[in-house]
Structure 1
Amino acid sequence: MKISEIFTKTIKEAPADEQAKNAIVLIRAGYIHKEMAGVYTFLPFGLRVLDKICNIIREEMNAIGGQELKLTTLQDPEIWKATDRWDDEKVDVWFKTKLKNDSELGLGPTHEEPLIRAVKKYIKSYKDLPFLAYQIQTKFRNETRAKSGVMRGREFLMKDLYSFARTEAEHEELYERIKHAYGKVYERLGVGEQTFLTFASGGMFSEFSHEFQTVCDAGEDTIFLDRTKKIAVNEEVNNDEVLASLGLNRENLEEVKAAEVGNIFTLKDKFSKPLGLTFVDELDQEQNVLMGCYGIGPSRLMGVITELLSDDKGLVWPEAIAPYQLYLVRLGQEAEIVKAADSLYSELKDANIDVLYDDRDARAGEKFADADLLGIPWRAVISAKTVEQNSVELKARTSADMALIPVSELKNRLVKLR
């Protein structure tokens, strides 16, 4: 893609109505547009990053046998009344609306109930289980506070996966499989070393639930972290009994701020029982299906990665999710420079390398500043000097060092780095 063809532009000034670093940097770089508090449009650069995050999540969910679907946003109140979750006193984040005939609808904040209704007709026997079903879909939650940019939105993207099992042992096996897959997601997104399995309250269904918390100054949670064992406890369960059960020593725990980037819960028959989701077992006995739910917020992750990795110059994207791999800068309007840069751009595109080509007639400083702000992992410069030497000046976004390499080597280097 050529910069001259893109409708978005970078801006120098921070938006006055934003407090969160992630929103400020993403807006300045032209990745998102703020529609209202807690509601953001993902512009072309931002959508490319968001799609890559979703694809990594999708690949890991598919690898463990997840089956992708897409449930409806509009929700029938009746099924939620059956589980006592339609009442605003019980669930206080609903967005509700009405049809022209005055009947109520809701915008889905989560999807346990409608998924059960969708799969119920297919589950009759123990032979129909177990399975994993998931979606990556827009959720709506009427959050009281929405001042954390894309880290906490009223409209946001979520991957929600649900497990359906016959026995507790089978549920636990699925639970552990998904927990492991989550770890692989964070590693691939470039935040694995900063993300820790965190023990939280399991409510009435299990001793613990598990959160995945990324250590981050902008995080809203406080966790107590054992870096050696790479596990943490949430503030709500930080007591001597819990620490003893986990083999943790209070003296080894570090109190840190963190952002929740995933959570997994055991549900047992909390929803399957009131909604009649049952199966007939090997002994011809009717049993309730046992469930778990597992969430990751792709748009939230985009905000956390921005908070964690960006610097005073702008965004710093891991290669796996960067909108482009290379920012190609042309310095000069002379015919031989234009020819060399255009030719290299075409060659890289033909090699399926994601390249953003700055073909503007602008000062070098402006182009370099935009390259840093946009956070593209690599920058290559074509100038009068490099054309004379049949070379290109290559620099990583995370380094101050530049290397002059033959033009013929650039493509192979970038292919190897993918």
Structure 2
Amino acid sequence: MRFSTFFVKTLKEWPADEENASARHLMRAGFIDKNSAGVYSFLPMGLRTLEKINGVIREELDRTGASELLMPALISKKYWQATDRWDVDVLYKVKDSSGQEYGLAFTHEEVLTPILKKFVSSWRDLPVALYQIQSKFRDEPRARAGLLRTKEFVMKDLYSFHADAEDLNSYYGKAAEAYKNIFERLGLKTKVVEASGGDFTEEYTHEFQVLAPAGEDEIFYCDKCEFAQNKEITKAEEGGKCPACQSGKIIRENGIEVGNIFKLGTKFSEAAGLKYKGKDGSDKPVVMGSYGIGPSRVMGVIVEMNHDEKGIIWPEEASPFKVHLVSLDGGKEQAEEIYRALNDEGIEVLYDDREEVPAGEKLTDADLLGITWRIVASARTIKQNKAELKRRADAKSSEVPLPEAIKTIKHAK
């Protein structure tokens, strides 16, 4: 992709109306644009990044046996009433020209259970796991912190349907492992934290939390074992003895929730009349699980945890391109050669081919955008018959022969 034709628009200054670090970086680098409080457009660079994140999510969920679908965001009032959620505070409500009322979906249990009711009748039809990646809406009274708390957001919601709790527990474990893989691939260190089920379930649920000062959740965890609980449910005290292993010390830190998994039981299946005929011939309610990740929030959290004073530092699997190729004075011919070579190798590259733009501005933009690898072609590199290669996260660059640079990039982890 050539910079001269691709829509890449960076800002000269940091946005004055944003205090959150990730929002400031994403806006200045031209990944997102603010429409109003809690509502953002994803510009081409931002959309590419979002799709990279979605791609990782799809790969890991597909391995669990889940299938992707797409459901409507505009949901008739009757579905919300069936589960007593028509009057929840976060639901946006609209009317059509005939006076029919709808809610803009913040979740999709109300839609998917009636769908499954049409196709599940026997124990032979189970288990089923279905997910979607779609825009959702919450009437968020405290929309702030860029993509971390918004009114409209991109959500991956996965739902599983089972004959019994044992089968649900088995898939729940698979989903938890998939989540760990997703966040690890995206460069995020997460803690699996016990939390309240809220309006969804009376059971404890599990949140995937990234420990960060910008987080709004309070997490209490052990410094020796896997014990971790949200403030909402914990009886542990900071500095106290771990109630699980009895030897570790409890630490309190702020966290940002990037994912959650719920054992819903039969709450939503009973409301929708979703039953199946068991092996004994009796009707039984389907047992459900729900699993959420917010890709748009994840994008914000990645930047929150991976930036410096110069700009964003994208982990490899979230980077909008793998290589940022920069042509400086005297390096155009070499840059074109490198561009062709990278494309031939199937390496995604953003090529800054702009004419009459100062070298300093090009390099500043490269740091702002934060693409994982940077290659610079200039009169000096031509003279040495080498390419200047730098990983965005590294302090120094190196000058290496082009074949070696391509090999390094292709096999980097």
CA pair 286-246 structure 1, distance change in 2 beyond 3 A: farther
* Structural mapping, 1:283-302, within 5 Å: 283-302=280-299
Aligned to 1:359: 353
Does structure 2 retain, via aligned residues, the 8 Å contact 1:206–1:266? no
Does structure 2 retain, via aligned residues, the 8 Å contact 1:19–1:147? no
Separation in 2 of the partners of 1:195 and 1:324?
25
CA pair 250-45 structure 1, distance change in 2 beyond 3 A: farther
Does structure 1 retain, via aligned residues, the 8 Å contact 2:157–2:293? yes
* Structural mapping, 1:189-338, within 5 Å: 189-191=186-188, 194-202=189-197, 205=201, 207-239=203-235, 247-249=244-246, 252-332=249-329, 334=330, 337-338=331-332
Matched, 1:169 2:163: no
Does structure 2 retain, via aligned residues, the 8 Å contact 1:95–1:106? yes
User: Cα distance, 1:6 vs. partner?
Assistant: 2.6
Residue segments in structure 1 that go unaligned for 5+ positions in a row: none
Aligned to 1:64: 64
Separation in 1 of the partners of 2:83 and 2:207?
24
* Structural mapping, 1:76-95, within 5 Å: 76-87=76-87, 91-95=88-92
1:109 to 90, 106, 111: 106
CA pair 264-314 structure 1, distance change in 2 beyond 3 A: same
Q: Percent identity?
A: 46
Matched, 1:97 2:90: no
* TM-score, normalisation: structure 1: 0.94
CA pair 142-250 structure 1, distance change in 2 beyond 3 A: farther
Matched, 1:54 2:50: no
Aligned AA for 2:106?
Answer: P
Alignment size in residue pairs: 409
State the superposition RMSD in angstroms: 1.8
Matched, 1:400 2:400: no
Residue segments in structure 2 that go unaligned for 5+ positions in a row: none
2:130 to 121, 130, 133: 133
Aligned AA for 2:25?
Answer: V
User: Cα distance, 1:19 vs. partner?
Assistant: 2.2
Aligned to 1:11: 11
User: Cα distance, 1:407 vs. partner?
Assistant: 2.0
Aligned to 2:26: 26
Aligned to 2:185: 188
Separation in 1 of the partners of 2:208 and 2:402?
43
CA pair 207-77 structure 1, distance change in 2 beyond 3 A: closer
User: Cα distance, 1:408 vs. partner?
Assistant: 2.8
Separation in 1 of the partners of 2:379 and 2:227?
54
* TM-score, normalisation: structure 2: 0.95
CA pair 198-104 structure 1, distance change in 2 beyond 3 A: same
Does structure 1 retain, via aligned residues, the 8 Å contact 2:224–2:248? no
Aligned to 2:117: 120
Does structure 2 retain, via aligned residues, the 8 Å contact 1:196–1:231? no
Aligned to 1:74: 74
Separation in 2 of the partners of 1:52 and 1:404?
29
